[in-house]
Amino acid sequence: MLIVDDSIVMRNMIAMLFGKDEQFTVVGFAVNGANALDKIVELQPDLVTLDIEMPEMDGLTALQQIMTFHPVPVIMLSSYTEEGSNATLKALELGAMDFFQKETLFQKARNVLLEQEFLVRCKTAMRKKLFLRNETSILGKEQSIKNHLEMLTFLLKMEDDMLQFHDELQQQIKQQNGLLKKFRKEGNQFRYTEWQGSLFNRLGVTRDQALGKEPHDLFPPELAAHMLPFYQDVWEQTTQVIDFETEWHGYYYLTVLRPMKRNGIVTEIISLTVDITESRRMEERIRYLMNHDPLTGLPNRHGMTKWMEETMARQERFAVVFINLDHFKLANETFGHDTGDRILQVIARRLRNIVIFDERSVFRVGSDEYVGLVKCQSESELEGFALTIVRSINQPIHILEHEIYMTPSIGISQFPQDDQDSETLIRYANIAMDYAKESGRNQVQYFNSQIYAKIERRIKIEKHLRKALERNEFILMYQPQVNLLENQIIGFESLIRWESPELGRVSPLEFIPVAEETGLIFPIGKWVLQEACRRNKMWQELGFPKVTIAVNLSSKQFYDHSLKDQIHSILLETGLEPQYLELEITESMTMDVQVAIATLNSFRNMGLKIAMDDFGTGYSSLSYLKEFPIHNLKIDQSFVKDISTNSTNAAIVNTIITLARNLKLVVIAEGVENVNDLQLLQEFNCDRVQGYLYSRPVEASQVPDIFARFAGNQVNMDE
Residues 609 and 476 in one domain: yes
Is 27 in the same domain as 116?
A: yes
Q: Is residue 642 part of a domain?
A: no
How much is the pLDDT for 83? 56
Task: Give the pLDDT confidence of 500-550 residue by residue, as tens digits.
Answer: 999 999 999 889 988 988 889 999 999 999 999 999 999 999 999 999 999
pLDDT of 252-266, one tens digit each?
A: 888 888 888 887 788
Question: What average pLDDT does range 638-644 have in this prediction?
Answer: 89
User: 30-50: per-residue pLDDT in tens?
Assistant: 988 888 888 888 888 999 999
Residues spanned by the domain of 184: 158-280
Q: Judge whether 460 lies within some domain.
A: no
- CATH code for the domain of 343: 3.30.70.270
Question: What is the reported pLDDT for 64?
Answer: 87
Q: Is 632 exposed, middle or buried (0-12, 13-18, 19+ CB in 10 A)?
A: buried
On whether residue 644 sits in a domain, the answer given is: no
Question: 452 in a domain, yes or no?
Answer: no
The answer to whether residue 483 scores a pLDDT higher than 80 is yes
The rounded distance, in Å, linking the Cα atoms of 69 and 67 is 6
**The predicted structure's pLDDT at residue 131:** 39
pLDDT tens column, 136-175:
333 445 555 555 555 555 445 444 444 444 454 555 555 5
Residues 486 and 428 in one domain: no
- ∠ at Cα 421 (416, 427), nearest 5°? 100
Q: Residue range 363-390: average pLDDT?
A: 90
Does one domain contain both 402 and 496?
Answer: no
Query: How distant, in Å, are the alpha carbons of 229, 321, 505 from that of 362?
Result: 44, 9, 43
pTM of the model: 0.55
Residues 372 and 300 in one domain: yes
Judged by average pLDDT, the poorest of 372-381, 478-487, 492-501 is 372-381
Same domain, 483 and 440: no
More confident residue, 124 or 318: 318
Look up residue 71 and give its DSSP letter. -
pLDDT (average), residues 690-719? 81
Percentage of the residues of the chain whose pLDDT score is greater than 70: 88
Q: Is 667 inside any structural domain? A: no
Check residues 717 and 99 and name the one with the higher pLDDT: 99
pLDDT at position 147, please? 54
Distance CA 60, CA 39 (A): 17
Regarding whether 547 and 413 lie in a shared domain, the answer is: no
Do 541 and 490 share a structural domain? yes
The structural domain count of the chain equals 4
Q: Which CB contacts under 8 angstroms, 24+ apart, belong to 642-651?
A: 642/677, 643/677, 643/680, 643/681, 644/674, 644/676, 644/677, 644/679, 644/680, 645/676, 650/680
DSSP string, 380-435: HHHHHHHHHHHHHHHS-EEETTEEE---EEEEEEEETTT-S-HHHHHHHHHHHHHH
User: Could you give the angle at which helices 33-43 and 59-69 cross, rounded to 10 degrees?
Assistant: 30
- Would the pLDDT of 688 be above 80? yes
Residues 21 and 111 grouped into a single domain: yes
The number of CA neighbours under 13 Å toward the Cβ of 44 is 4
- Cβ proximity of 680 and 654 under 8 Å: no
Residue 717: the pLDDT is 47
pLDDT at position 201: 65
552 and 616, same structural domain? yes
Q: Which of 190-199, 349-358, 647-656 has the lowest mean pLDDT?
A: 349-358
Q: Is the pLDDT of residue 645 over 50?
A: yes
Residue 683 has pLDDT above 80, yes or no: yes
Sort strands 48-51 and 74-78 into parallel, antiparallel or unpaired: parallel
> Which CATH number fits the domain that encloses residue 479?
3.20.20.450
Give the pLDDT of residue 137. Answer: 37
What is the per-residue pLDDT across 547-580, written as a single tens digit (0 to 9) for each? 999 999 998 899 888 999 999 999 999 999 999 9
Residues 348-352, mean pLDDT to the nearest whole number: 89
Together in a domain, 304 and 253: no
| CATH number reported for the structural domain that contains residue 131 in this entry | 3.40.50.2300
Q: Each residue of 197-211: pLDDT tens digit? A: 767 666 677 888 889
Co-location of 129 and 197 in the same domain:
no
β-sheet bridge partners, residue 483: 488, 688
Inform me whether the pLDDT recorded for 343 exceeds 70: yes
Q: What does the DSSP assignment read for 466-533?
A: HHHTTTT-EEEEEEEEEETTTTEEEEEEEEEEEEETTTEEE-HHHHHHHHHHHTTHHHHHHHHHHHHH
Nearest to 677 by CA among 665, 689, 663, 695: 689
Does residue 420 fall inside a structural domain? yes
Q: Which of 229, 250, 280 is the last residue of a domain?
A: 280
The region of weakest confidence among 4-13, 144-153, 417-426 is 144-153
- Indicate the residue type of 69: F
Q: Give the distance, in angstroms, between the CA of residue 116 and the centroid of all CA atoms in the same chain.
A: 22
pLDDT at residue 256, as a whole number: 86
pLDDT (tens digit per residue) in 389-421: 999 999 999 888 888 999 999 999 999 999 999
pLDDT in the model for residue 144: 52
Closest to 47 in 3D by CA, of 151, 103, 106, 128: 128
Given this model, what pLDDT does residue 527 score? Answer: 97
Amino acid 357: pLDDT:
53
Distance CA 129, CA 131 (A): 5
Answer yes or no: is 605 within a domain: yes
151 is a domain residue: no
Backbone region of residue 408 per phi and psi (left: phi > 0; alpha: psi in -120 to 50; beta: other values): beta
Whether pLDDT at 336 is above 70: yes
Asked whether residue 495 carries a pLDDT value surpassing 70, the answer given is yes
Mean pLDDT, residues 572-591: 91
State the average pLDDT for the chain: 84
